[in-house]
Every structure is written in structure tokens, then in C-alpha cells.
A and B are shown apart, each in its own frame.
Chain A
């Protein structure tokens, strides 16, 4: 089961303060669907406002990146630049 670690704000706003969730999903897209099912609005929030660090590697806007069964996924703020 993939471990999803939520930052304080996302956890507070959508997951009632939960900071860690276990999810079964084999792509980012399926992960977002499952997160949104359990915590309505969370999937959309991640899609639009956040990036994911999957086993440490940063991904932004990438539905089809595969997840390993034991992937560790951190939600992090989007990164831009100047």
C-alpha cells in the first residue's frame, strides 16, 4: 500500500487533520481519484495547487507516473520560479 504524507494544511482542510494515509493505487491518476473519494476536494486540491514527491522525486501534473506498491508520496507545494 502506498503511503501518502499530507502537509499540515492539506491534511487540516480536507482530511480532518490526518497527516498520513494508506492508499492502493498504481498511477498518480488513480491515487488522486482514490484520495478524492475518501476526502472530497483533496484530489482536486493536489492537482491544482500541489506537486508530489514520489519516493523523493518531484512530479508536477503527471497523471500516468506509475507508483510502486510501497511508494512513499509526499504532498508538497507547487514549485515555480522567476
Chain B
């Protein structure tokens, strides 16, 4: 792989062109999942459980089936029964039996809204009527939602075949604790004994939803030959294909998934809910079926992230050197095992160089929708606790919070508790940039306070495929297999344009369906610009190598007489003046004569994704009468590796910060005593709106990742990790009260101010 690393020598990378899919998005022409239609399409809807926990005694669908206009009705009995097995096909280890039961309940319903049947009918009204006619006999069971309540020995059990992994001796009684994990480095006992100051605190968070504005939507069509075609908004068309194949018992080759434009995912669309149902209904009815979730369904049914309890203990010597760090994390997994407690444990102290660490995590099921990934899954909860505790430690030691972090910062060569050794990282650079930023020295007004916090995310690489085709006029097409959530198409086109040496306007990027491009792991884990970018660069470089060969043939010179510069085959120094340059366009014109169309592809499993670090500064103002916290000023500093398109990198930082602000101040699930969700809508599930936020300043620090040809490291997930602690620390600075329970909503602030808590 050729290194492209000279900042001054880049023509396209680092500039801010208009994204290629932009015009269709601002004119309303872009096709999202629900915008797609096929002739003869039926409407699919889902019958859902009103109980948080119940045994299913019987489901009667005969009346619904008989209703005129109803073309198909399915229950779990119509899907193949899948034995419990774990497989790594999508994001994180996936147990297909659990996924199947999450899509349609078998034996038991495990949360309010759990799907029990689905219908396809000619109109919305008929589908609604059919749902009413489906009778389900339930035996309601006691339910449990809170994570510690679910861990208690007398808690109602969700699964009688769930035994806690990771404890000795292996338990013989089932439990709601799916897993216990442990990471250890050194000897925390000795570390705490050596510490002169110890800070210990307990933190709690509520579940929050990714809250993408576009509800889940898909259209499925199954032919008489069993060939299934799905159009859906998802974070990975290959993931949808694989999951549907497994859940429906179909061969992968018989399913084709075309990705629609996706209206936000943030991890919440890295699995399937409607797609297998739509395909099953399409198969049975012989007609295409469209299914779109309502906003209420999105909240009641689709995976939020965990709520959790985190207990942190830090011990440091007087000069600020942390001798021991300990954390216990308990995360809700929802109805089936699989909370992000493991990455939460790993990320908790990953920013620091610590000699003695002990991290324990518990993955706990409860009667809530199955948790799905949400931007840096697990890390924001852990960092809320750790970074708040760091703030307490800094104050106890009378040290500047940035200085305390700097004293213990992970640098090149730092080993984490889980075994990774950091290399080529920019954490210290973010601390330095934050320290010298004007924000850090700006004066504060009355009832205002300032907080800092840092964050980390691993970022991943993974499998990606890309193709670069040269058109007859010298323009290019770049095909990849990753849905574009945040502008990645633009970055891919820019990297291809840079390698080919042509203007970006001459490169058209498209996202291929599962039959048109090689396998690509889904869009998530901040991986596309890194891994798919790497594949694009590889393919583009092969094209350049081929172009040089063709030029040598045309010019009748030796291939080593030629180098590629600014989109043309030019003589090397040794051959200067011997021949005129041949442009890409001229070569493209002669492609047929010189061997055929010029095209290359790359299918890789990208390794070497560099981790990202961020440091955030936040000023708040607290209204003592209402308890409202206003974000006055926010600066997000992050090591972004190399910003291919700086505007979209800034956008990732700003978007992540806004989600973190919502998580910190207002967002939470509110349940009634029957375990039913009381706020399944945007009115009462309060995400930040334009009037809640100030401008969000971003500082892009670039410490290139040497494992990527352009130095790229993932950027999308890091920015959601610091905000909750940054805000909690700012609130402490403003009103002298340590908020340890999220969200820090007005009633809680008022209670804290009146001294009712802490």
C-alpha cells in the first residue's frame, strides 16, 4: 500500500466539496425505506404484547385470516425454530434463537410491545382491523426492570435456561445475570494501600434510545421461485441478508437486499425487526409487503441502550498519580442477553496509564426491549462514572482536571487492562489543545460552571469490498457495500479522486446491493471511512497501476519510464522530455484497444483501526428556580486521525455531543408499575432541539493512523462518550452539587439544590 501522507501534497483530501448525494437529499428526492413502493404492495402490521412479562397460552388467528383483505397472518410457529447458538455475523455475538424470538415471541413475551403475530392486508384499515381480531391468551407474570432488582435472588426470572457465565463454580440455578466478566491488571489492593487520596462513588443511568428520526421501514417481495428481494433502511444490507436467511431458513443466495437511504441509525439499525416478518408475509401472500414502524413502536420495541449502575473507586498519591482504579458495572440487557457491558468495562479506564486496575461487569436481562448498539456502546455509561470520579479526585487533590488527566494519560506504549497496547494515539494532544483553547480561560457568569471530561472508543476495521471502474470518458465510478449514514460516500469519492488524480466531481460513488458488490460488514463501529476507504484506495491504486501499464503500451516505452501524477501518465525524471503526458481521459478512450475496460476491485479485512480519544469542555448555567440546565458553551476536541472531509468530521463531533447532551439532561424511559412505557413519543422522550443548544465548537487534532493510507481513524463514536460527565462536572462547578444519576433533569437539580439528595 502506498503511503499518502503529505498534508501539503493533497489536492482533494482535506477539502470540503459538496457531497455527491446532497442534491437529492435537499430536494426530497432521496429514497428512504418508507419512500419505496411496488405495484400490488400489501401493508404489514404487527400485533404486540400489552404485558411486560407473560406466558403465551394460545394465539388465535383464524378470525383475522378470514377477514376480507387479509392475505397472510404469521406467528412464531411459522418461523423455523432455531437452537441456541452464538454466531458472529453482524454486530457483536448474535444468538439467532434470541433474535428470532425477539422478532416474534415464542412461549413467552418478555417486554411490553414484544411482537406476537404479524398480518399483511390490502390497506392500513384492514390490517388494523385484523390485528384487533387476533386473540392472544396470556398468563401475566411478575416483571422486573431495574438492573439491581433483576439481579436480586428473588427476582422474576425471564429465562429458565439462562445460567450466569463467568462465575465459579458454574451455577445450577438459572438467573437474570447472563454473564459476569472481569479484567485485572496488577494488584488493586496494593494500589489502594499506596494511595493517599481515595474517591469512591456510585452512579446510575437510565436507558436511552438512539432516537433516529426515521422509523424502521422495509419492503419485501418474494417470487414464486422463492427469490426474495428486500428494500430497507438499515446499517448493513449484508447483515439483513444474513439475518433473514437464518431466521427464515433460506439460503443466502436466494435473498437480495437493496439498501435504501437511511435516516439515522447510530447502532439501532444494526439488526432486524421487520425484515424477516415482511419477507415471511410476502412469501405467504405472494405479494410485496411494506412494513413501517410507528414512532410509538420504535420506542416500545426497538433496542435502546442499557440503563446501568456503575461504582467507581480511584486512589491516587498526593501528586496526582493514580495508583489504583476499580469499577463495577451492571448493565441492563433487556429481554435477551447481550448488553454492551464488556466494551463498557474495556473502555472505562482506556484513556489512562494505570498500574493496578480491576473492572467487573454484569450483563443482566430484564423486561425491556432487547438492547441494541448505540454509538460507542457501553462506553458513555462507564465514562459518565469514571470521568465524574476523576473530577472529584482532581478537586480532592486541588489539581486542574486537565492536568490530572495529563499526569495519568495513555500514551504510545501504554497497556490497557484488557491487553491492547496503545500506539500512535493522540489523547495527550487533545488535552493540550483543550488546555490552550480560549474556552478554557473564558470568564464565567453567575450560576455558571465549567466541566471537562475525556472519552475513548476502539473503532473497528473489518471486511469491506469496493470497486473502481473507469468510464470511457475518464470519469470513475466507485462502488462500495456500506450504507452512507453520515457522508461516507463523499469521503470514499474523495480518496479515490486523490489516488486517481482527478477532480472529485468526476468520481461518482454509489452503494451497491448484496448482489452487486462483494461482502461488506455493516456501517458502524466508526469503520467505513477507515476500512471501506482502505478498500477504495487499494482498488484505485490497482487502477493506477493498470493505467501506467496501458500508457507504456500506447507510448511504446518501458513501464518504469512512467509515473502517475495529477491524473496523467507522465515521464519519470530519467525520461523527461521523451514523451508527452497521457491523461486518464485519453487512456480511457483507448481502453478497449489496450486490453479492455479498466477496473479494479478490492475485498479486504481491514486491521489496524486506530482508537480515538476526545476531550470536551462544557459551560453550563443552572436556573435555581426551575432546575433547568442551559448549555452555554461547548467545545469538543478530538484526535480524528486525518479528516478526509473536515465538515463531515465536524458534523460527527457535533452530532455525538448533541446526543450526549440529551442523554445527560433529559432523555430517559419512564415506566408505569405494569412495566409499560409511558413516554413512547418525541413529546415526552425529550431529545435536544435547536433552541436547547449553542453552537458546538470543534477542534480536529490530527495524529494520523499509520495503518491507513491516508491516516484515517474512526471519528463517529468518540464524541458521545464525554458529554455526560463534562456536564455533570460543570454542574458541580456551578452549584456545588455532585449529580450521580442520569438524566440530570430539572426536578433532580431542584431536589439537589434544596439539599434533599447528597
Contacts and interface: CB of A to CB of B under 8 A. Distances in A.
Physical contact A–B (CB less than 8 Å): yes
Interface of A: 5, 7-9, 12-13, 48-49, 53, 55-62, 65, 74-82
Nearest to B347: A79
B420 A53 contact: yes
A22 to B, nearest CB: 17
Nearest to A77: B342
Contacts of B462: 60-61
A73 to B, nearest CB: 9
Interface in B55-93: 86-88, 91-93
25 contacts: A7-B183, A8-B181, A8-B182, A8-B184, A12-B168, A53-B419, A53-B420, A56-B419, A56-B423, A58-B458, A58-B607, A60-B460, A75-B419, A76-B418, A76-B420, A79-B346, A80-B91, A81-B376, A81-B457, A81-B459, A81-B524, A81-B525, A82-B270, A82-B374, A82-B375
Contacts of B226: none
B26 to A, nearest CB: 27
B184 to A, nearest CB: 8
Nearest to B166: A9
B539 to A, nearest CB: 20
B306 to A, nearest CB: 12
B109 to A, nearest CB: 26
A7 B184 CA distance: 9
| Residue among A8, A57, A58 facing the most chain B CB atoms (10 A cut-off) | A58
Contacts of B93: 48-49, 78
Contacts of A13: 165
Contacts of B320: none
| Residue among A5, A56, A62 facing the most chain B CB atoms (10 A cut-off) | A56
B420 A58 contact: yes
B746 interface: no
Contact of B373 (A61, A78, A80): A80
Provide the main secondary structure of the chain A interface.
mixed
A12 B167 CA distance: 9
Contacts of A74: 418-420
B79 to A, nearest CB: 24
B704 interface: no
Contacts of B415: 56
B88 A48 contact: yes
Contacts of A48: 86-88, 93
A59 B457 CA distance: 16
A12 B346 contact: no
A79 B343 contact: yes
B181 A78 contact: no
B375 to A, nearest CB: 5
B717 A81 contact: yes
Provide the main secondary structure of the chain B interface.
loop
Interface in B165-209: 165-166, 168, 181-184
Contacts of A61: 462-463, 605
B266 interface: yes
B356 to A, nearest CB: 16
Interface string B391-421: 0000000000000000000000001001111
| Residue among A48, A60, A76, A81 facing the most chain B CB atoms (10 A cut-off) | A81
Contacts of B267: 81-82
Nearest to A61: B605
Interface string B451-487: 0000001111111000000000000000000000000
A50 to B, nearest CB: 10
Contact of A62 (B346, B375, B527, B605): B605
Interface of B: 86-88, 91-93, 165-166, 168, 181-184, 210, 266-268, 270, 342-343, 346, 372-377, 415, 418-423, 457-463, 524-527, 605, 607-609, 714, 717
Contacts of B463: 61
Nearest to A8: B182
Given A9-B166, A57-B420, A81-B91, 15 more contacts: A7-B181, A7-B418, A9-B165, A48-B93, A53-B420, A56-B423, A57-B423, A77-B342, A78-B93, A80-B92, A80-B525, A81-B460, A82-B91, A82-B372, A82-B377
Contacts of B524: 80-82
A31 to B, nearest CB: 15
**Pairs of residues from A and B, 7 with the lowest C-beta to C-beta distance, nearest first:** A56-B421, A82-B267, A81-B525, A74-B419, A82-B373, A53-B419, A80-B92
A56 B461 CA distance: 16
Nearest to B707: A57
B365 to A, nearest CB: 18
B661 to A, nearest CB: 18
Given A8-B166, A9-B181, A74-B418, A81 B377 contact: yes
A79 B458 contact: yes
Nearest to B413: A56
A8 B422 CA distance: 22
Contacts of A76: 346, 418-420
Contacts of A55: 421
Contacts of A62: 605, 607
A59 B714 CA distance: 16
Given A9-B181, A49-B93, A79 B460 contact: yes
A80 B419 contact: no
Nearest to B720: A82
Contacts of B714: 81
A14 B465 CA distance: 35
B458 A77 contact: no
A81 B265 CA distance: 12
Contact of B717 (A5, A56, A82): A82
B84 to A, nearest CB: 14
A55 B375 CA distance: 28
A81 B423 CA distance: 20
Nearest to B88: A48
Contact of B461 (A5, A49, A60): A60
Contact of B607 (A60, A79, A80): A60
A49 B168 contact: no
Nearest to B373: A82
A13 B459 CA distance: 28
Nearest to B270: A82
Given A58-B420, A58-B458, A77 B343 contact: yes
A77 B346 contact: yes
